[in-house]
């Protein structure tokens, strides 16, 4: 895809090239027309000279014609006397020429163009009151060659001119779009954790200066709004943690009472489950709000991913105890990354828990560790239905749940939390494959 700067330079070069071609054509035509007028003037002047020579001689006309014709040729090699008549009688005719029959003489001269002997000639047919009629011709080969030579010179210089114009337009476009490029660079640097990027404002009232001011004002409003939202999410999460902890404690206390009737025990168990679910949502929101505000604290220590995944496998075995699912892992030794073990454990376990929710009956869940150059990889796969193409990006959004799986318990935060944690470590989380048999998610972390 060509940049705007290059497109502008190419369009300018193309437009100037077309204009120069039109200029070359117009210039050639004007020069040819002027030289043709000069040839007409020469014809008229020489026809007058010829007739004046006839009036001045005392010899017979037939005698002086060869001398006058020779004098014309000697003065201008391409000028020829084609025919001379006196009072309707033909006195002289060039034997090599076939005179066009439609040429009629006029007192001021009638001009026409004719081809003869492979050349183009300009003819004048002129009459005088004393009865003389003269037909002269001048060869236009020199004129045509001169015009063609000039046209070739122009055309040979045209590519260089277009190149210079294109380079100049590219340079001017670069200076013109530099402020826009600065705005683009600043916009690309904007993240949820850093909304402080601004552009130096220029003085003046042009469109670029106005766009810069509008962009900076927009960023100011966006930063204030985001800070308010972040503070609200963080404060709300903090404020809810204590009441929920108290509520969970009282429910657990009620469950431990031996004299509570079965109906009450069942109700308290359901309340405890919902309280734990709400507590998990609040913890996830708190983590996300810290990440959005750029305050997610990461303690980077070397982690042996083989031992790390083996330890998580014990929790997965417990998670799958009452299901028909099978869990396997491949953990070769020596694959190490640097990161926060607690946060990475949350990310990986969320993916494994998600796999258990969406696996087919009697299916398999696997967790494989591998290394690829400077990256360590964790592939988490499960046997389950294919994820629709249009949902493969949406599943990483917060609180997104596929309409066809609303009945499966969950909060819609697991994948978004995992991606936030992985990206905070400088890695990536992606859906590697979903083909109707296996769904594979891959975590890539710098070693």
pLDDT (tens place) for every residue of the chain, 447 residues total: 677 788 888 888 888 889 989 998 998 899 888 888 888 888 888 888 887 777 776 555 555 566 666 666 544 447 888 888 888 788 888 888 877 665 666 667 788 888 888 888 888 888 887 788 888 888 888 888 888 898 898 888 888 888 888 888 888 888 877 777 777 777 777 765 567 777 777 666 677 778 778 888 888 887 777 776 666 666 666 666 667 777 777 777 777 776 767 777 778 777 777 776 677 666 666 666 666 666 667 788 898 998 999 888 888 888 888 888 999 998 888 888 988 888 888 889 889 988 888 888 888 999 999 988 889 999 999 998 888 888 888 888 877 777 666 656 666 778 888 888 888 888 999 998 888 888 999 999 988
What pLDDT sits at residue 74? Answer: 40
CA angle 421, 238, 232 (to 5 degrees): 85
300-314 burial, b at 16+ Cβ within 10 Å, e below that, comes to eeebebbebbeebbe
**Phi, psi at residue 409, to the nearest 5°?**
-65, 145
What pLDDT sits at residue 377? Answer: 92
Task: Tell me the Ramachandran region of residue 436: left when phi exceeds 0, alpha when psi lies from -120 to 50, beta otherwise.
Answer: left
Question: Residue 112 in 3-state DSSP?
Answer: strand
265-298 burial, b at 16+ Cβ within 10 Å, e below that, comes to eeebeebbeebeeebebbbbbbbbbbbbbeebee
Long-range CB pairs of 94-100, under 8 A, 24+ apart, other chains included? 97/137, 99/135
What pLDDT sits at residue 382? Answer: 92
Question: How far apart (Å, rounded) are the C-alpha atoms in residues 140 and 79?
Answer: 10
What pLDDT sits at residue 290? Answer: 66
What pLDDT sits at residue 193? Answer: 58
Question: Residue 207 in 3-state DSSP?
Answer: helix
Structure tokens belonging to residue 156: 């040979």
Instruction: Output the CA–CA distances (angstroms, integers) from residue 433 to 56, 264, 430, in the order listed.
Output: 109, 46, 9
Instruction: Give the domains, in start order, of the chain with CATH numbers.
Output: 4-148 (3.30.450.20), 207-292 (1.10.287.130), 301-446 (3.30.565.10)
User: SS3 letters for 17-29?
Assistant: HHHHHHHHHHHHH
Question: How far apart (Å, rounded) are the C-alpha atoms in residues 102 and 179?
Answer: 71
**Tens digit of each residue's pLDDT (9 = 90 or more) over 51-73:** 777 777 655 555 556 666 666 65
Q: Are 211 and 181 in contact (CB under 8 A)?
A: no
Instruction: Output the CA–CA distances (angstroms, integers) from residue 123 to 83, 91, 310, in the order listed.
Output: 11, 18, 106
What pLDDT sits at residue 169? Answer: 86
């Amino acid at each position: 895809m060509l940049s705007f700067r290059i497109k502008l330079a190419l369009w300018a070069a193309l437009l100037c090239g077309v204009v120069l071609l039109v200029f070359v054509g117009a210039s050639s035509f004007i020069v040819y027309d002027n030289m043709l007028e000069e040839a007409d003037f020469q014809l008229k002047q020489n026809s007058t000279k010829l007739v004046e020579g006839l009036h001045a001689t005392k010899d017979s006309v037939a005698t002086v014609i060869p001398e006058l014709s020779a004098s014309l040729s000697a003065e201008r090699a391409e000028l020829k006397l084609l025919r001379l008549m006196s009072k309707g009688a033909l006195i002289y005719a060039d034997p090599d020429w076939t005179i066009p029959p439609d040429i009629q003489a006029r007192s001021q001269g009638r001009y026409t163009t004719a081809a003869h002997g492979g050349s183009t000639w300009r003819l004048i047919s002129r009459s005088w009151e004393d009865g003389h009629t003269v037909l002269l011709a001048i060869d236009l080969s020199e004129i045509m060659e001169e015009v063609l030579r000039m046209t070739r010179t122009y055309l040979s210089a045209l590519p260089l001119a277009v190149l210079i114009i294109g380079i100049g337009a590219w340079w001017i476009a670069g200076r013109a779009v530099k402020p826009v490029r600065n705005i683009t660079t600043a916009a690309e640097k904007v993240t949820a954790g850093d909304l402080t990027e601004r552009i130096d404002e220029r003085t003046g009232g042009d469109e670029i200066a106005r766009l810069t001011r509008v962009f900076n004002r927009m960023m100011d409003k966006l930063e204030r709004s985001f800070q308010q939202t972040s503070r609200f999410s963080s404060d709300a999460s903090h404020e809810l943690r204590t009441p929920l902890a108290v509520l969970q404690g009282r429910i657990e206390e009620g469950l431990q009472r031996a004299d509570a009737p079965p109906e009450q025990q069942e109700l308290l168990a359901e309340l405890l489950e919902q309280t734990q679910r709400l507590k998990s949502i609040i913890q996830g929101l708190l983590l996300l709000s810290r990440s959005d505000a750029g305050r997610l604290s990461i303690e980077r220590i070397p982690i042996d991913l083989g031992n790390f995944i083996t330890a998580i496998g014990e929790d997965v075995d417990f998670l799958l105890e009452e299901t028909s699912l099978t869990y396997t892992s491949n953990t070769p030794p020596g694959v190490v990354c640097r990161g926060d073990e607690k946060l990475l454990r949350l990310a990986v376990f969320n993916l494994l828990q998600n796999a258990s929710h969406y696996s087919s009956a009697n299916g398999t869940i696997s967790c494989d560790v591998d290394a690829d150059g400077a990256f360590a990889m964790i592939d988490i796969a499960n046997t389950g239905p294919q994820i629709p193409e249009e949902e493969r990006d949406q599943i990483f959004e917060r609180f997104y749940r596929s309409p066809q799986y609303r009945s499966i318990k969950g909060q819609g935060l697991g994948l978004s939390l995992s991606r936030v944690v992985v990206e905070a470590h400088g890695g990536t989380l992606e859906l590697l494959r979903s083909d109707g048999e296996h769904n594979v998610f891959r975590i890539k972390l710098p070693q």
